[in-house]
Amino acid sequence: MHERLSIRRFRECDMDAILRIEHASFRKDAYDRNLFADFHHKCGDLFLVAEGTERICGYMLTCTRSREGTQTAELVSVAVAPEARREGVASALMDSTLHRLRRRGAKRLSLTVKVTNRHAVAFYRKYGFVQIRVLPRYYEDGKDAWLMVRDLA
């Protein structure tokens, strides 16, 4: 586990650090400032950052929705700075997200991930997400996605 890591809500002053991590992680598919600002507005209390001793080293963004009285959530994105990977940063973000979702009474957390993104799929499987089905040509580059789901009960 990353030493002295704290998980807290995103603040506007974190934006540049998040954009650096985003670009290093997703290159041409990276979300831009406007999209993050939009998500902050819509899903702010589940837009979390991981802060190490010196800098922000990762983020996780989740949005909830309510339909017919049942609250569900979608994990929109997660990324960890390349130099901070495999130190438990994404795990700390996921633990905090799951805790916050349970506290709100959300029933289910879903996500989509490129079928070729082995590291992310391994991470989600470790957290009990199950591959439900393939979404063909889901991404702009024509790659397929896995729809993955985890119950929160």
Ligand X SMILES: CC(C)(COP(=O)(O)OP(=O)(O)OC[C@H]1O[C@@H](n2cnc3c(N)ncnc32)[C@H](O)[C@@H]1OP(=O)(O)O)[C@@H](O)C(=O)NCCC(=O)NCCS
Tokens of 137: 């040509």
Residue among 15, 20, 71, 88 that touches ligand X (CB under 6 A): 88
Residue 87 interacts with ligand X (CB under 6 A): yes or no: yes
Residue found by looking up tokens 């063909």 in the block:
136
Residue 139 interacts with ligand X (CB under 6 A): yes or no: no
Segment near ligand X (CB under 6 A), from 33-41, 62-70, 84-92, 101-109? 84-92
Residue 143 interacts with ligand X (CB under 6 A): yes or no: no
Segment near ligand X (CB under 6 A), from 28-36, 98-106, 117-125, 135-143? 117-125
Min dist CB 68 to ligand X, Å, is 28
Count CA atoms within 13 Å of residue 45 on its CB side.
8
Burial class (CB in 10 A: 0-12, 13-18, 19+), 28: exposed
| Closer residue to ligand X, CB minimum distance, 1 or 69 | 1
Segment near ligand X (CB under 6 A), from 38-46, 66-74, 115-123, 134-142? 115-123
- Bridge-based pairing of strands 108-114 and 130-135 is unpaired
Nearest of 95, 132, 142, 88 to residue 111 by alpha carbon = 132
Q: Which amino acid is at 57?
A: C
| Closer residue to ligand X, CB minimum distance, 59 or 106 | 59
- Cα 23 to Cα 32: distance, rounded to the nearest angstrom: 9
Residue among 85, 138, 149, 152 that touches ligand X (CB under 6 A): 85
SS3 assignment, position 90: helix
Q: Which residues bind ligand X (CB under 6 A)?
A: 25, 78-80, 85-91, 113, 117, 119-120, 122-123, 126
